[in-house]
Amino acid sequence: MVSDPTSLERMHQLYHLPVIPLPDELSDPDTLYHPNAHFELHTCSPPRSPHHDQCMYTEDSLRLEKTAGLYAASMTHRISLPTYAHPSSPIVLREKLCGGFREGRVTHVWTATRAGETVIAKIFDPLYFIDPYEGTDPFPFVDLSVSREVEAYHRLEPLQGTRVPRFLGLFVSPLPTQGNRTVYVLLLEHVAGQDVRYLVPPPTSDSDPDKVENLCSAHRSAIVDSAVNVFFDILMCGVKQRDMAPRNVIIRPPRHRGDAFCAKEDCPVRFSVDASNVESVMIDFEGSELWDPDHEFYDQQTREREMHSLREDFLEDWWYGKYGI
C-alpha cells in the first residue's frame, strides 16, 4: 500500500508515463499460442497468494514496467525450473477456447493433447493482460489467479470427475522464443459435452430467433436447477463460484439418444439435453472465493428453499449477462 504523500505523488507521475509497447515479434499472442504449438512442462508448486486481492502496483513494480516495459519486467518474474527431474510429457495445442488480449484475465485456454490424451490447458500469461482499471500489476494477479484456482480444485477433490473436472496438475513452461520467460500451465480433464452458451445461445441481433425464449419450461427449469445444485455442492466444499456465466456450465451428453426429450418443436435442446437427468459440470475457478465449507446445503429442505428463492430471478438473468447468485 502507498501511504505517504511523496510516494503518492511519485506513483501519480509514473502512471502518466507512456506505456512501452511489447516488441513487434511478441505483440501478437497468436504467434505463441496457435494450433500445433508445443509446450514443455515441468511440475511445480503453486505460487504464494498475494497479501491483497487487489494486486495493485508498488512504486518499484510500476517504475520497472514504465521504464523497461512489460516484457523486460516479465524476465524478473521467471519461475525457477526444477533441476532434479526431467520435464513431464509436453502438450500440443489443438483448439483455442479463449485467449488473446483479455480484459481482466490472464488466461489462454486450449484443448491440447498430452501423451495421446485430450486435456484442457489453461495458460496464465501476464503479457497479454488488459487491465480495465489501469492499476493492477499483472504479475501478482497471475499469482493470485493460479494459487486460488489450484486451492479451489484441492478443496473440490470429492467432486472431481463428476461435478467439476479432474485436476491433472500445475506446471511451469519455459518459452524459448521469448527469452525463456515462463508461464504457469494448469491441466484439467476434458469434459465431454457442451456449455450452455453453445446449447442455448442468446440472440446477437434483433432478427435472430431468441433460443432462450424458445426453451420449453421443463428444460428451462432443469438446466438452471442443475447448475444451481452444482453451485451448492461446490459451496459445501468451501468454494464460491463468482462467475456463473453459461460458458462455465457444461452439460454432459444424454445417456440415451434418439427420441426427443420434450414435445416443443422449437426447443433448442429438444434432442441434446435429457430434462429428467441433466448432468452439469462447473468450470473456471480462478476468480472464485475461498470460504469455510458451508454444510447448510446438506439439508434438502434448505436447498429447496434457497433454490425456490433463486430460480425466478436467475432463470432470466443467467442468459442475459447477470451471473451472480
Please report, for the chain, the start and end positions of each structural domain, with discontinuous segments joined by +: 17-189, 194-320
- pLDDT (0 to 100) of residue 51: 81
How many other β-carbons are positioned within 10 Å of the β-carbon of residue 220?
21
**Average pLDDT of the chain, as a whole number:** 88
From the number of C-beta atoms within 10 Å of its C-beta (0-12, 13-18, 19+), residue 197 rates as middle
| pTM (two decimals) | 0.90
Beta strands in the chain (DSSP E): 38-43, 88-98, 102-103, 107-114, 117-124, 129-130, 167-175, 181-189, 194-195, 239-240, 249-251, 280-282, 289-290
What CATH number is given for 17-189 in this structure?
A: 3.30.200.20
- How does pLDDT run across 181-222, given as a tens digit for each residue? 999 999 999 999 999 888 987 766 666 667 778 889 999 889
Q: How does pLDDT run along the chain (325 residues), one tens digit per residue?
A: 455 668 778 888 888 888 898 999 899 999 999 999 999 999 999 999 888 777 889 999 999 999 999 999 999 999 988 877 678 899 999 999 988 777 778 999 999 999 999 999 999 999 999 887 778 999 999 999 999 999 999 999 999 999 999 999 999 999 999 999 999 999 999 999 999 888 987 766 666 667 778 889 999 889 988 998 999 899 999 999 988 888 899 999 999 888 999 999 999 999 999 999 999 999 999 989 998 887 787 778 888 887 777 766 666 666 565 554 4
- How does pLDDT run across 106-137, given as a tens digit for each residue? 999 999 999 999 999 999 999 999 887 778 99
